[in-house]
């Protein structure tokens, strides 16, 4: 009887009178990289949440204007801006959830791994500050390559002696959002009902939609499975190519990241019925990190739902084995980076 949380929304939009309703318990959220393509629409969506009392926006430039603009919305949260490393500590103090979309996006012809050299350093530096200032916060990593930046974050937190694997998340919600959309379109299903778990990692073949576990129960022929799987795996590239050099997914990513923030806040608020797919430290396979559906609670990951892995199809079993070497290499690259550049 899991509640389907497959659309961002719920209570934020239910009782709109002349402004969104404040909620009894509220939380502080920080966005690092808040002036960027993802950061700005994500800040807007989070500003609409009744579970947020303070929204801290950090970037190396251009964040003052974003914050001034957003602060005029008549929703309960207070918006504060922080520019540059000297203001980062203040941005992070007392924060419950830190979302990190800082870093460079892909251009056509690039893989996510091509972003490693720049984004690895950015994530390392930002997570060092998180470790120093809000070590107990939920940390949502969006910056690519997620398959490496999450292991980087884990190593940094370990070096600082504050690693809590239950509170470090690679944001893979966009893969689920895409899978839900494409499956609903192909099978003529009502969007709000469709929920497809997506496991593995967040790049190419490491993205594995478990179509056989689609809810409501749906059958697919072999051609549909192949087409849907490949489209979900290449959906990021589809957007990169359509944007033709102007970046990668920002609006759908902001939507997906806002859903993951909303789910985290509901979990922190004591809702006992919150489930999301996310890339975390995991025992589900022999790989140290793996995305799968988890139950979220006040302390972060409460349970990993291994049930999704029972009765996989032959196609899914093969795809699972095929993704492991690439995902393993990306994880090891992230770990090695921090060990080499502590």
* Residue 119 contacts ligand NAD per CB under 6 A: yes
Q: Are 331 and 151 in contact (CB under 8 A)?
A: yes
Q: Which of 280, 249, 208, 258 is nearest to 112 (CA)?
A: 249
Q: In sequence order, what are the residues at sequence separation of 6 or more whose Cβ sits closer than 8 angstroms to the Cβ of residue 87?
A: 58
- Residue 266: both structure tokens together: 């509901």
211 binds, among ligand LMR, ligand NAD, none (CB under 5 to 8 A by kind): none
* Residue 146 contacts ligand NAD per CB under 6 A: yes
CB atoms within 10 A of CB 162: 15
* Of residues 43 and 235, the one with the C-beta less far from ligand LMR: 235
264 φ/ψ angles, rounded to the nearest 5 degrees: -65, -40
* Of residues 37 and 300, the one with the C-beta less far from ligand LMR: 37
176 binds, among ligand NAD, ligand LMR, none (CB under 5 to 8 A by kind): none
Query: What does the angle CA 234 – CA 122 – CA 200 come to, to the nearest 5 degrees?
Result: 35
* Of residues 247 and 297, the one with the C-beta less far from ligand NAD: 247
CA distance 338 to 331: 11
Q: In sequence order, what are the residues at sequence separation of 6 or more whose Cβ sits closer than 8 angstroms to the Cβ of residue 207?
A: 172, 175, 198, 200, 201, 232, 233
Selecting among 11, 23, 56, 202, the annotated active-site residue is: 202
Q: How far is the CB of 285 from ligand LMR (least distance, A)?
A: 21
- Residue 276: both structure tokens together: 């999301």
* Residue 115 contacts ligand NAD per CB under 6 A: yes
Candidates 52, 91, 142, 207; binder of ligand NAD (CB under 6 A) is 142
The site string for ligand LMR over 71-110 (x = CB under 6 A, - otherwise) reads: ----------------------------------xx----
Q: Which helix (H) or strand (E) holds 245?
A: none
Q: How many chain residues interact with ligand NAD (CB under 6 A)?
A: 32
Please choose, out of 32-40, 84-92, 185-193, 233-241, the segment that lies near ligand LMR by the rule CB under 6 A.
Answer: 233-241
Q: Which of 59, 56, 49 is nearest to 95 (CA)?
A: 56
Candidates 46, 127, 131, 239; binder of ligand LMR (CB under 6 A) is 239
* Residue 259 contacts ligand LMR per CB under 6 A: no
- Which residues in 252-291 contact ligand NAD (CB under 6 A)? 253
Cis status of the peptide bond prior to 322, with omega within 30 of 0: no
Question: Is 341 part of the annotated catalytic residue set?
Answer: no
CA distance 53 to 92: 14
* Residue 55 contacts ligand LMR per CB under 6 A: no
Helix (H, G, I), strand (E, B) or coil at 69: helix
Question: Which positions are catalytic?
Answer: 202
Contact residues toward ligand NAD (CB under 6 A) are 32-33, 35-39, 59-61, 101-106, 115, 119, 122, 126, 142-144, 146, 171, 174, 202, 247-250, 253
Contact residues toward ligand LMR (CB under 6 A) are 105-106, 112, 144, 174, 202, 236-237, 239-240, 248-249
């Amino acid at each position: 009887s899991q509640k389907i949380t497959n659309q961002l929304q719920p209570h934020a939009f239910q009782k709109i009178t002349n402004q969104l309703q404040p909620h009894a318990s509220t939380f502080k959220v920080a966005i690092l990289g808040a002036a960027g393509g993802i950061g700005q629409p994500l800040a807007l969506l989070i500003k609409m949440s009744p579970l947020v009392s303070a929204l801290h926006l950090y970037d190396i430039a251009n964040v003052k204007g974003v914050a001034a603009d957003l602060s005029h919305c008549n929703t309960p949260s207070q918006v504060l801006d922080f520019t540059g490393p000297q203001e980062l500590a203040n941005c992070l103090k007392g924060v419950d959830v830190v979302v990190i979309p800082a870093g460079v996006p892909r251009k056509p012809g690039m893989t996510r791994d091509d972003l490693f050299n720049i984004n690895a350093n950015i994530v390392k530096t930002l997570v060092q500050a998180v470790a120093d200032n809000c070590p107990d916060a939920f940390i949502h990593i969006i910056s690519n390559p997620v398959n490496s930046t999450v292991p980087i974050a884990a190593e940094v937190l370990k070096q600082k002696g504050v690693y809590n694997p239950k509170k470090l998340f690679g944001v893979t919600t966009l893969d689920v959002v895409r899978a839900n959309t494409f499956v609903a379109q192909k099978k003529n299903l009502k969007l709000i009902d469709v929920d497809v778990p997506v496991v593995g990692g967040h790049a190419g073949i490491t993205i594995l939609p478990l179509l056989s576990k689609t809810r409501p129960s749906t059958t697919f022929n072999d051609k549909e499975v192949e087409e849907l799987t490949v489209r979900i795996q290449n959906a990021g590239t589809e957007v990169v190519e359509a944007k033709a050099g102007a970046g990668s997914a920002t609006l759908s990513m902001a939507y997906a990241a806002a859903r993951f923030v909303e789910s985290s806040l509901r979990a922190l608020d004591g809702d006992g019925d919150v489930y999301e797919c996310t890339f975390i430290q995991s025992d589900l396979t022999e790989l140290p990190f793996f995305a799968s559906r988890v139950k979220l609670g006040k302390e972060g990951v409460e349970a990993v739902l291994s049930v999704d892995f029972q009765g996989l199809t032959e196609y899914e079993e093969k795809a699972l084995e095929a993704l492991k070497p690439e995902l393993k290499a990306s994880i090891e690259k992230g770990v090695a980076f921090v060990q080499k550049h502590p």
